Amino acid sequence: MIQEEFRLDRQLCFRLYTASRLLSQAYYPLLSEQGITYPQYLVLLVLWEKDAQPVNDIAKRLLLETNTVTPLLQRMEKAGILIRTKGEKDARQIIVTLTRKGRELQKKLADVPATVGSAVICDSFTPENAPDLFRTLDDIIARLSMNSMVEKKA
């Protein structure tokens, strides 16, 4: 007999993983029309909020390591979506700036948030209660990030 805590339907990790995977799949056809991937879309979201950012700032905003973000940025640069230049004050710092193509993608992808949003709206997730779910997820992310940082230092 399986212990209750080992039942798949009792696992938060399984629900979060499955929701994340299916949500990424929902984005795929919308983004692939423009030749970008979901991780590239996340980088674009960061740069559309504030252009010309250091790689480190983009990585921090995405809760990723710079060595994960750098190859992604390199592919985006090859695709003509952004450029990477050395910082004026510190040549070791790389500044990422959108190109015209990168800025135009914002217009081309303008319907993506509403399209995906309408796909996930259900009885238990509505625009009215979305802020509550976001707060809960932000709390989980913050807690796990804090634990992860403690483990890295140890």
pLDDT digits (tens, 9 = 90+) for 122-153: 989 999 999 999 999 999 999 998 876 656 65
Question: Is the whole-model pTM more than 0.85?
Answer: yes
Backbone angles phi, psi at 53, to 5 degrees: -120, 150
Other Cβ atoms within 10 Å of 96 Cβ, number: 23
**Topology (CATH level 3) of domain 8-109:** Arc Repressor Mutant, subunit A (1.10.10)
The pLDDT of 55-66, averaged and rounded, is 96
Please name the residues in contact with 142: beta carbons below 8 A apart, sequence gap of 6 or more. none
Phi and psi at residue 125, to the nearest 5°: -135, 105
pLDDT per position as a tens digit, 65-80: 999 999 999 999 999 9
Given pLDDT bands bounded at 50, 70 and 90, which one contains residue 89? Answer: confident
CB atoms within 10 A of CB 43: 26
